[in-house]
């Protein structure tokens, strides 16, 4: 599939996903078709329970769809084995979560380096790159601090730096401002705007229309179905 003469960077076709709840199966996604161009910043907007986080998990190769396919740069990954999907995530996808997921026993710099170490990269190059990323997000003086010594906004900045450490093609953010006050959240979105200038593709899940409006395109998810619109 192509759009504006360019090959589609990320594409889903007829994605379905259900979960068992007691004796019944609850259908969360009911046929998702989505195409994202390289370098786009897309906000997936929806209320709690709409299916947006499940969709993000499938896009990030954290879960498999029941039916349908997902491809990134032309490579299908919706049915990869667990080990292959893990390697694919490390090399291609960066994650930013609402609750940061920083390891308390590691320094901020070590937390940023961690995905690269798991991927098998050298510690010396990761230390240099991690420090540069932390400087870029305004944490150049916090490299050796522990996460507990950082504010929520600072931890989220560190999480953003961590998501970039393996130079992923795709960044996925799940409610990245949802655990922050409005002023701190604005600062995080400004960092997103800055980093987006590096032509990374960013997909951000949010329930907040004001946050969604910062993206270049808004995709509405309602009851497991996508309805693409410009604006809110």
- How are beta strands 225-229 and 217-222 bridged, if at all? antiparallel
Looking at the DSSP bridge assignments, the partners of residue 170 are: 93, 201
> Which listed CATH number (3.40.50.720, 3.40.50.140, 3.40.50.300, 2.60.120.640) goes with 2-229?
3.40.50.300
What pLDDT does 5 receive? 58
- Tokens matching residue 22: 């007691």
Please tell me the distance from the alpha carbon of residue 101 to that of residue 207, in angstroms, as a whole number: 20
What pLDDT does 176 receive? 85
Crossing angle of helices 152-163 and 182-196, rounded to 10°: 20
Asked if 18 and 25 count as a contact pair (C-beta separation under 8 A), the reply is yes
What is the domain partition of the chain in residue ranges? 2-229
pLDDT digit string (tens) for the chain, length 232 residues:
455 557 789 999 999 999 988 889 899 999 999 999 999 999 999 988 889 999 999 999 999 999 999 999 989 988 888 899 989 998 999 999 888 889 999 999 999 999 999 999 999 999 999 999 999 888 999 999 999 999 998 998 899 999 999 989 999 999 888 877 888 888 888 888 876 666 789 999 999 998 999 899 999 998 899 875 544 4
DSSP label at 231? -
3-state secondary structure of 13: strand
């Amino acid at each position: 599939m192509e759009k504006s003469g360019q090959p589609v960077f990320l594409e889903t076709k007829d994605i379905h996903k259900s979960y068992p709840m007691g004796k019944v199966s609850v259908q969360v996604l009911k046929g998702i078709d989505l195409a994202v161009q390289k370098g786009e910043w897309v906000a997936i907007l929806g209320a709690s329970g709409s299916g947006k986080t499940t969709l993000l998990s499938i896009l990030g190769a954290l879960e498999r769809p029941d039916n349908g396919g997902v491809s990134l740069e032309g490579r299908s990954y919706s049915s990869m084995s667990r080990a292959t999907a893990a390697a694919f995530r490390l090399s291609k996808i960066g994650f930013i979560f609402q609750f940061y997921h920083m390891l308390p026993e590691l320094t901020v710099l070590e937390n940023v380096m961690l995905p690269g170490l798991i991927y098998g990269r050298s510690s010396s190059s990761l230390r240099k790159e991690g420090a540069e990323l932390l400087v870029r997000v305004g944490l150049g003086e916090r490299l050796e601090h522990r996460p507990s010594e950082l504010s929520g906004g600072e931890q989220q900045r560190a999480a953003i730096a961590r998501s970039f450490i393996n130079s992923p093609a795709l960044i996925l953010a799940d409610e990245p401002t949802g655990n922050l006050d409005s002023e701190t959240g604005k600062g995080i979105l400004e960092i997103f705007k800055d980093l987006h200038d590096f032509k990374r593709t960013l997909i951000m899940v949010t329930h907040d229309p004001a946050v969604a409006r910062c993206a270049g395109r808004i995709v509405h998810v309602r009851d497991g179905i996508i309805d693409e619109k410009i604006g809110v």
